[in-house]
Structure 1
Amino acid sequence: MRDQRALINITTWKNTLWAVLVFADRLRSNEVERFVSELANVCHRTGMNVVAKNPPIEFANRQSNTEDRLKLAFMSAKKKFRKDAQIVVCIVPDATVPLYAEIKRVGETVIGIPTQCIVAKHVGRPNYCANVCLKMNAKLGGINVVLTRDQIPFIAEKPTIIIGADVSHPAPGDERRPSIATLVGSMDVNVARFCSVVRIQHGRTESINDLRDMVMDALKAFFRNSGHKPARILFYRDGISEGEFERVINTEVKAVKLACQQLEANYNPTLTYVAVQKRHHTRFFPMGRDQSDRSGNCMPGTVVDSGITHPYEFDFFLQSHAGIQGTSRPAHYQVLHDENKFTSDALQDLTYRLCYLYARCTRAVGVIPCIYYADLLALRVRYHAQGDSFSEEISLYSGGSAPSYANLHSNLQNCMFYM
């Protein structure tokens, strides 16, 4: 399979209203103002209609009450623009977890607004703004990368929802924290905007206990945003091993079908269910320099579907990204249920093309983006634990009893706030 680039076509959120909150004590106000002006200019050049070139700037410090300061920044923007701000840019002194976690918890469960954190050392780097714009645009509902309809005919022919699902577990030895089941579902033919569905369940449970209701939420979001009921479902599931395939077929595939019947008795979209495995030891090496990229890895789009795959089941390895450093690891895709009658080439080609639609960069990624989004969503929800303190490691929770997780604010359920 050859490398085929996506059509880059940024569709941005209109009339962006924002506020800036600075936690970095060492930054002077003129430095912040210069950076904010440069960020606004870069956003404007990339097509974002930033109405407020001079947003309100509030200052705080690490010891300030984060919730109060975020509310103050939000209200300052509302007072200045006479409308609610759509995003708060927070400049933090460093990349430590506790402050970042509290900013995300307050923004996403209390106020209901996405936040964009920027480490203070990057304030003097104008070229950093382009990457920030990608994230801000995605959080505001814009589209950074699309594919033309002729590149994804399976999705363009009929209303098709792409779903990614995962279960995130607590660190080994932690018996207090629960597991977090996450599901993201595309909301239009561009496969660029996704809804977010989260459930908290008993720790160490790999099955998604409430999958039926989660799929129903995703199908409803697709209908609200596109005006169509999905005629096809392409479901990518992360985190299951080969020993769990039979259980998944008997429980999770059935739960997806039940979700459709629960919405409407005669509603029966065709379903393809694919298990995605990232943690394995398989690596590919090119036979010669003319078959490798600049880092010495196989070319992006390399597919292996014979020899080392199952002799009669539907599975393949796809190395969709260009390696930057070290040896690239391909993703293993195993089709467990297929009502869409995919040929090997058709599913491999579609999966590879979708790998170019990851909103945080302009190149292909190593795993289909809906899986990345489900993983990012699960990591973010860990920060929604109420009244907890976090160590510098994201996986280590230092509270005493089982944490209580705040519900995601209703404003953000159709927003990719975790980007």
Structure 2
Amino acid sequence: MADKAYLILEDGAIFEGTAFGAAVEVVGEVVFNTSMTGYQEMLTDPSYGGQIVMPTYPLIGNYGINADDFESRRIQVRGFIVREDCEEPSHYQSERTLHEYLLAQGVPGIAGADTRAVTRRLRTRGVMMGMVTRDAPDAALKRLQNAPRYGNTDFVKLVTTEAPYAWKEPPHGEAPPLSITVVDMGVKYNILRNLQSRGCRVRVVPSTTSAEDILSTGPDGVLLSPGPGDPALLGYAIQSARGIIGKLPIFGICLGHQVLGHAFGGTTFKLKFGHRGGNHPVKDLKTGRVYITAQNHGYAVDGDTAPRGVEITHINLNDGTVEGLRHKDLPVMSIQYHSEAAPGPLDNVEMFDRFVEMVRAEGGGRRAKRK
């Protein structure tokens, strides 16, 4: 018989379930995701660094784990909470079960938890710190209360690449390839794939790379990636972004969007329970068109602090928060949602086309053509 396991929240709430995955105790910020599929992408999304993740969809693990749907080199979540863990997945690509994957990566899970009750609590009271444990709840709660807070830790430095590397070569096309530098604050593989498929040579650099070092390699454009945690802690990334603005085209996604907001002189704030899922409606203020987007963030840019010269391009129709920015005179744009999806709808991959068009309009690719 499987051991009991507990999800303990910092407000004292205790949710019992059955342990699966690794037999370890972890602490993290507890968040929920409303996507019905894509648990493998969730697990390997670096934006979940430092968090215990809970899908609201009840049946998880039913198509197993395969080699094609990873979004980074390892599991990034601290723990995984599900209503039901499917122990016998059925899919032609499946190579192992969810339990086997968590066990191999040293990550604990809880099955059989009342995920609906946890979701309602987080929506009402806001996201909070929590613990996954097999220990007695009373003793574990004391350890949880003494644990470091999520908002005080720079998780980007824990997920970024240690050294620069080149992504796969782009396919041959009529236009010369673009040289794009991706600042890795928690980049997902599907962002790199989308750039590569559009004729970009992609170089990924650590989050702490200075503007001078980025500019010295002569890229045609820069992408600031998504990632975990509070953007206000990323002074080094904000300073680097300021040094690139006006010198190269820039595209920021999610955390990269928030970093650009700070670089422009704005501020960010923490959302009560965040936006995490594949069904968030976002309105393009220029066209009036509404997109269904994939999102995964707990902070947002304060629209009231947007400086002169920067316009809000997109808003979230659920709560009115800022979902996109654009500089009126410089080739700089950003979005809060995930145009690369993985998981989620593919309605917004055109944002990569816009970025490539912006880079080419600024003369991108000419250097490669001269060579």
TM-score normalised by length of structure 1? 0.25
User: More helix by proportion, 1 or 2?
Assistant: 1
User: Which structure ranks higher in relative contact order (CA pairs < 8 Å, sequence separation ≥ 6)?
Assistant: 1
TM-score normalised by length of structure 2? 0.28
